[in-house]
Amino acid sequence: MKLSSTCIRCLIDRQEERIHDIEDENKKSAYMKEIAGIIGSSETDASAPYLVYKINSVYKRYFGQYPDYEEEKAEFNSLMLSMEEELEEKIRMGGSQEVILKNALIYARTANYIDYGAMNQVNRETLLELLEKAEEEELEEFTFRMFQSDLQTGKNLVYLTDNCGEIVADKLLIKILKEQYPDLNITVIVRGTPVLNDATMEDAHLVGLTEIAQVVSNGNGIAGTQISHLSDEAKQVLGEADIIISKGQGNFETMHNCDLNVYYLFLCKCEWFSKAFDMEKFKGVFTNEKYL
């Protein structure tokens, strides 16, 4: 996805916030000039997650290792695991297979709120409120029918994860997909190295995702799915996919215009996405690459 003026402003603002409390003004000024150069000289198709990946290496050169999100990841993995049984009960309350699948998609989408890339703060109470109201949300009907049709004929589905905690809801959706389409081969792709609060192989093991599906690393620390930077294994898996479920804004930003059969599933969490999809903040998108 091409950078908008809003995304450029956000990139700059987030970096200034990141170094705000550092006292060395000369170093801060030099850093901001260098990252402004990275953004200004970027290619027209450069995505925000890829630019942040490049900016992170500059940050480490100036200020050392950037803060990790281990506490946040542990908090939301633990919270969502504690709610897993309750969420599964809510998903299965629909009765029919169609309603159960819709519910699983909606709850997985709602859990996309847990995103420290799009927001400075993730509020536990807001997450619980969104999950409580998830049953009131709906899916775009045309997209859902197309998704069902693809599931009936597809052989290989790739699930691109996004954040910790969220992957517990992803696990429930994958569980439902495996029940309803037992001949469908499902492979999950996680981040190769820690970035923000995104899910890695360690998190996939922690929440039991590796027990129900094959999970592979994307081979890098980009907070999205930059195809040119994928590991050989991830690139092969993605290339063989009939259906791709792409979770989160970062995966959308890096995958959009990829000419693959991608179903994007995420919440709008920032100004650009709310405007682009004509939705209020924290409302959900379910759409296919072909119709964007």
- Could you list the mean pLDDT of each consecutive 10-residue stretch along the chain, which spans 292 residues? 84 92 94 95 88 94 90 97 98 92 98 94 96 96 98 98 98 98 98 96 98 98 95 97 97 96 97 92 96 88
Q: Yes or no: say if 140 and 283 are a contact pair by the CB < 8 Å rule.
A: no
Burial class of 4 by CB neighbour count within 10 A (0 to 12, 13 to 18, 19+): middle
58 and 77 in a single domain? The answer is no
| Domain identity same for 115 and 204 | yes
Distance CA 172, CA 11 (A): 33
Domain boundary among 63, 86, 102: 63
Q: Do 42 and 131 belong together in one domain?
A: no
- Asked if residue 134 and residue 226 are part of one domain, the reply reads yes
**Residue 165's pLDDT is what?**
98
Q: What residues have CB less than 8 Å from 111, skipping those under 6 apart?
A: 80, 127, 131, 163, 165, 166, 168, 169, 170
Helix, strand, or coil here: 156? strand
53 contacts: CB under 8 Å, gap ≥ 6:
195, 220, 221, 222, 223, 226
- Pair (221, 190) in one structural domain: yes
Asked if 163 and 267 touch (Cβ cutoff 8 Å), the reply is no
Q: State residue 1's pLDDT score.
A: 66
CATH number at 169 reads 3.40.50.10880
Residues 94 and 230 in one domain: yes
How far is Cα 103 from Cα 90, in angstroms, rounded to an integer? 8
CB 81 within 8 A of CB 209: no
Looking at the structure, do residues 215 and 116 belong to the same domain, yes or no?
yes
How many folded domains does the chain comprise?
A: 2
Query: Which of 99, 87, 218 is CA-nearest to residue 160?
Result: 218
pTM for the predicted model, two decimal places = 0.95
Residues with Cβ within 8 Å of 19's Cβ and at least 6 positions away in sequence, in order, are 28, 31, 32, 63
The three-state secondary structure class of 264 is strand
Q: Which domain holds residue 125?
A: 70-291
Judge contact between 70 and 198, C-beta under 8 A.
no
